[in-house]
Each structure stands twice: as C-alpha cells, then as structure tokens.
Structure 1
C-alpha cells in the first residue's frame, strides 16, 4: 500500500529523523500546516508489529510517498446498529455542537459517530474561525481539537473563557487530543476545558464524556 501527497516534502538530510517520536522536519510545520510529528513513528511501530516495514520517498517541495507491505487475514465486518447508541444519545439529542477540527477525515468520523443523536454540528477548521463563529452563534457544546494551525485549541479556549468571564456565560468544551499523558490532560483542564477525549476516538468514549459534561 502507498500514500502520496503534493505537500511541502522533506529534504533527504531530514528524513532519517522522521521516524523518531516528536520529530518534525521543521518546528514551524505544526503551526502552519498542523500535526504533532508523531504520525510516522506510530505508523512504523504498528507496521513492524505486523512484520512489515515502511518506506519514505520524498524531496523538499515535491511531496511525499509513504509505502508499506504487510500480510494480514481478511477482516470480518460487523455493522453496528443505531440501537447500540440508544442510551448514550439521550443526553445530547438535538444539541448544537461546534466542532473545531482542522482534519477533514477526523471531522467526518466524529460527525458519523454523532449522527444517531440528531445533533446540529457547525464546523470550524481552526481556533480563529471558531472565535468568529462564536461572535454570532451560541452552542450547547464545543468539541475542540488541541493541535491546529493558525490558532490551536488551547489558545482558543483561553479566549472563549476570557469572554465568558465578562458576560457570565459558560459553554462546555471537550478537548480532542492525540496526547494521552497526564501532563497533557492537565493542560487541557488548566486552560478551561471541561474534559477530554483521546485520539483515536471511540464512540463509547465520546458519548460517555459528552454525557458526563452535559448532565
């Protein structure tokens, strides 16, 4: 399997470091383009556990191609029915949710998970867009990604809480974070978030945390 993009690419002298945890080709990448530098390290670890190997081909300014080969048995697909979510959706049926997430796939996954609850979702692709939306709309809940370009979830939450202190309101904010360490979770709480869900997100965790925050 291979995945190719037409992005900023990676210089050859920097490629050897990219399979190390918390490493990016350029520290400015996370702010401008998003991402934490964990993706390739995690992917390599998973592929090696399946007796495979990952390869990277790239040039600066010309995009990347990442490929791997593994042997795996055919998966058995079990379709989940809406009844699985019946009890969990009651707390959020019809609620208005602001989803602040820069990754299109992540937005689609979260929206699909919440579909049985008939929520009304408004999307913002970064913190700045979220703040602009909040000037004209109110929500029952905000799902806030922590790592985003332009303005991340931590900074956005600080602005929201500062404005709320002036007008006496409070909207629950749930962090969506790829960082599962206690220090990272505490940082979410310190900036004013009410709770957090770690990536990769499961429907059970998402509904449980939302139910707890809204109850």
Structure 2
C-alpha cells in the first residue's frame, strides 16, 4: 500500500530453500523539480538543543553487563563531574553498594546472576530513599513497574535525556551557582566577621575564585561600623566573639535601612539549640557548624544566593 501511494510498486521472487528477493519501484520523476529546489536551498543549521554536561556532585553506581553501554553512560556521567562505579551484575552491585554510599544508582534489567529488578528490591530494603533508575532495552519487562524504580529509561539513551534525568536526583556543583551569580553581579560585596584570623582567611580563600570583593573583620564593633557605612549583599559571621556576639552583627544589619536585602550566614563552632533558634529569630538565613569543608561552605553561600530577590 505504501509503494502504491508513492506511485510505485513492489515485486517478490521466492525460491524454497534459497530465499526471497523484494524489489521496490518508485516514480521519482514527479519530485525532480523539488530535488532541484532542495539542492539550491540554504544549508540547515544544526540543532542547538544539545544539553552540555552540567556540573553535578555525587557518586553513581551503574549496574550493566554490556561493555559498550558501560563506557557510553559512564563517560557522560564523568563529564558531568560525578564519580561512577561499574558493576557487571546484580550480585556485584550489591557487594559494591554495601561498602560505599551512593547518591544515585542506574541499573539495567537484564544482567546476569541477579537481574535489575531483584537488585533494586534488595537495595531498597536497606535504603528505601536511595533513587534507582532503570536504563533498559526492555522497559515493559514483567515486574518493572512495581520494582521501585524512580524512572525507567529506554535504550538507546541520549546524553540530553541522561543529563535531564540526573538533574532531578543529583545536586548541582555549588561552585557553578556562585560563578554564575558573581559573573552577573560583579559588584556584589561580602563581609566576613570572624575572630579567628586563620579561619577567616580560609573562608576568604574559598570565595576568591568567584569574587575579590570580600572584606574580613575580626571584631564585632568594627563589623557594626562597616555595616553602617557600606552596603553588603552577604554577611558571614561567627556567633561567639570576645567583645560581643554574632547577634550584635545581625542586629546591626537589621537596623541599617540600606541592608534590607542582605542575606546572612552564621558559621559557628559552639551553639546550642536555643542559640540557633535565637539566630534564626534575629534574621539569620542559614547556619553551618564548624569545622566546615569548602563544599559545605559554598553550598551555604549558594543557599543565600537562592534567597536573593525573595
């Protein structure tokens, strides 16, 4: 029917024990003028919808027995900034997952020794909140809908689909958020109030790849004077000082009319629940407990950025 609709036909020759030969005839003369127009047409621009590798953080386990699929998927995951471990079957996946914490697991269904459905059930028994995604050529396999997978992706899978899916379950690298914000807001200023000079310099170093507009003070009174005179977008303060409290810094911010949009992060090593409640009641947006890693600190600053404009 299709051949006839295209003004053509089809012949079949078949010999028992030898095989069959199919011949398709199409009348191309009617489209000759169209072909000429197509040859003279301007070239089609390539699609710009390809998703570049985002910058995620996290560790991924991929359970897959096909070598080419292992290489293809794991390479895209690494390009996105994540660590990825490979398991060749379900039992190996269980063994690896028992010795390492993962942020996300990808699993094929048809893997040896223990299939992906059984593997997912075992993992979810111990960690019901761990997201598991199936990447399979058999998305309608029996039991797959009730296996507990967050999503089922059909092979072959594009990098676009993979990255969009990972974005639902893996956090973005906080440095990407800071880089974007300070590139768009090059005049944004940060005040660091910390009586430990060494730690204050560490925090400044954490921020140095993104902005140079970081002022450090070791003293509450000096911090209040700086706040009264300057306009800071973000203030990062300790809680306990020899001559005062981080609450004094917060109160100075709240009293200044030009600091209505200032976001505040408290980084402290000694605070009980009552003090934490007082911090938030006074106007602190987020707090971190010392010691703090660069990743945790940048995530804290990223949370302040998320609040800008709110």
Deviation at 1:144, TM superposition (A): 0.8
Residue in structure 2 matching 1:131, options 224, 239, 247: 224
Query: Does the CA contact (< 8 Å) of 1:189 and 1:195 recur in 2?
Result: yes
Change (3 A) 1:122 1:105: same
**How far does the alpha carbon of each residue in 1:116-156 deviate from its partner, in whole angstroms, 9 at most, with x for none?**
11241111212110111122211110001111122221122
Query: Does the CA contact (< 8 Å) of 2:237 and 2:266 recur in 1?
Result: yes
User: Take 2:305 and 2:212, find their aligned partners in 1: how far apart are those partners?
Assistant: 13
Query: Does the CA contact (< 8 Å) of 1:157 and 1:193 recur in 2?
Result: yes
Residue in structure 2 matching 1:104, options 197, 203, 210: 197
Change (3 A) 1:91 1:101: farther
Q: In structure 1, list runs of 5 or more residues that go unmatched.
A: 1-83
Deviation at 1:97, TM superposition (A): 0.3
Alignment of 1:75-114 (within 5 A): 86-93=175-182, 94=186, 95-114=188-207
Residue in structure 2 matching 1:170, options 240, 243, 261: 261
Alignment of 1:47-196 (within 5 A): 86-93=175-182, 94=186, 95-164=188-257, 169-179=260-270, 181-196=272-287
Change (3 A) 1:92 1:182: farther
**TM-score, with structure 2 as normaliser:** 0.39
| Secondary structure of 2:270 counterpart | coil
**TM-score, with structure 1 as normaliser:** 0.54
User: Take 2:214 and 2:265, find their aligned partners in 1: how far apart are those partners?
Assistant: 14
Alignment of 1:191-206 (within 5 A): 191-206=282-297
Deviation at 1:101, TM superposition (A): 0.7
CA-based RMSD of the aligned residues comes to 2.2
User: Take 2:189 and 2:256, find their aligned partners in 1: how far apart are those partners?
Assistant: 20
Q: Which residue of 2 aligns with 1:214?
A: 305
User: Take 1:103 and 1:140, find their aligned partners in 2: how far apart are those partners?
Assistant: 22
Deviation at 1:199, TM superposition (A): 0.6
Q: In structure 2, list runs of 5 or more residues that go unmatched.
A: 1-172
Paired residues in the alignment total 130
Deviation at 1:206, TM superposition (A): 1.2
**How far does the alpha carbon of each residue in 1:80-111 deviate from its partner, in whole angstroms, 9 at most, with x for none?**
xxxx7642422542431001111111111111
> Higher mean Cα deviation, 183-192 or 107-116?
183-192
Structure with the bigger RCO (C-alpha within 8 Å, sep 6+) is 1
| Secondary structure of 1:197 counterpart | strand
User: Take 2:259 and 2:242, find their aligned partners in 1: how far apart are those partners?
Assistant: 29
Query: Does the CA contact (< 8 Å) of 2:228 and 2:252 recur in 1?
Result: no
User: Take 2:269 and 2:259, find their aligned partners in 1: how far apart are those partners?
Assistant: 31
User: Take 1:85 and 1:168, find their aligned partners in 2: how far apart are those partners?
Assistant: 25
**How far does the alpha carbon of each residue in 1:2-47 deviate from its partner, in whole angstroms, 9 at most, with x for none?**
xxxxxxxxxxxxxxxxxxxxxxxxxxxxxxxxxxxxxxxxxxxxxx
User: Take 1:211 and 1:85, find their aligned partners in 2: how far apart are those partners?
Assistant: 6
